[in-house]
A and B are shown apart, each in its own frame.
Chain A
Amino acid sequence: MMGDLRKINFATVWLSGCSGCHMSFLDQDEKIVDLAQKIQLAYSPLMDAKIFPENVDVTVVEGAIGNEEQLNLIKKIREHTKILIAIGDCAVTGNMVTLRNVLDNGAGAILKRAYIETATENPQIPNDVPKLLEQARPLNEIVRVDYFIPGCPPSADLINYVLTEIMAGRTPNMEGKAKYG
């Protein structure tokens, strides 16, 4: 699939994360030019696409699954993607998004903290945004994930290494490279 001249249909997704992994992705500097020549961007927070397309070759997902919208989206992404890559600790382990997981009524507790207890004006919990899940989850607890790039954020070099290996049809060797945190 990757060997022919057709450009790789490529997507990046930003779920419950800080966008730091996307920043690290962009931080590949001049190497991103080589990458850009091989891919065609199908969906990304860097562009204006509202709906996740069909037939995506490679999707890079940053962030944990934190709410119902993301839960549905990740299932759709898996259905429409050949190779799914979890990038960064939030997508790989849940990272600090999962801090609420150890609390009783974790979602309720953090909403109350953010929108009631610390609000200076008009305290109310918003009801027009997707509902928070009781516990945040790493991607691989919801869908099958093909490759993982841990790190908070992963270094640009590691991202480049993994993407280059995958696009060349090789399996990246993460021994000595996969560093959490």
Chain B
Amino acid sequence: MSVSSPVKIKIDGVEVTTYEGDTILSAAKRAGIYIPTLCYLDGLSSYGGCRLCIVEVKGSPKLFPSCTTPVSNGIEIITNSEKLRKFRKLTLELILSEKPHICSICVANGHCELQDLAKEFGVDHLRIEREWTAHKIDLTHDFLVIDHNRCILCARCIRACDEIEGVHVLDMKMRGKDSQVIIDMDEDWASSRSCTSCRKCAMVCPVGAIYVRDKPFSEIKDKEIAKFILSRRGS
């Protein structure tokens, strides 16, 4: 993995030695520097969808998603600033206003990564008027449920299904706010012949959009699952 040449960068003033091809997020993680993430999950490929992990790179007016931005020699990175906190908070408000998220009646209440991040960034209300659109809930599978009203389109389930389970049952249709996670060729879950019912989609879901019926979300949720399986495969 790290046969490539070493790269020296600075994160929040701390000198970090990493290697060519590494991402800013993974370099920061190894150096023990916290960057908030939402769509990113250890063991899955980086998606760069949620924009929570944005960082500043000195000398550039742009903000960079640290999970997909490769390191380069000599760059200086800022992971926490007034500007970053402002944008991360707004990002969370945009995510929360896109669907009718109602924490008090959600299976993930108390174990939700979106709820935790909203707390961390002090999202005490939404400055954006919300979308009041009803989204589908697929209750056809024996025990797996997908509630699109809660889905934040982070695509963790899609990546886990494809990269870890290797079946690629799940994918995304449409674009923008019409995007939706689909099963096979946009079918009911019950009619899917490729789904192995492995539950990894539910294990990695940050918000309780996919869950196992009649099971506490906290019992199913396993943020380490992808990393764990990969380590046992020796990759």
Contact = CB atoms under 8 A, between A and B. Distances in A.
Interface of A: 86, 89, 92-96, 98-99, 101-103, 135, 138, 140-141, 145, 148-150, 152, 173-181
Contact of A178 (B102, B106, B110, B123): B123
Contacts of A173: 122
A138 B125 CA distance: 9
B70 to A, nearest CB: 31
Given A180-B115, A181-B106, A98 B123 contact: no
Give the dominant DSSP class at B's interface.
loop
Nearest to A100: B132
Interface of B: 100-106, 109-110, 112, 115, 118-126, 129-130, 132-134, 149
A98 B102 contact: yes
Interface centre among B100, B118, B125, B130 (most CB of A within 10 A): B125
B102 A96 contact: yes
B100 A180 contact: no
Contacts of B122: 173-178
A98 B119 CA distance: 22
Given A98-B102, A152-B103, A179-B115, A141 B129 contact: yes
Contact of A177 (B100, B112, B119): B119
Contacts of B124: 92, 148-150, 174, 178
Contacts of A93: 102, 125-126, 130
Given A176-B119, A180-B118, A86 B134 contact: no
B103 A89 contact: yes
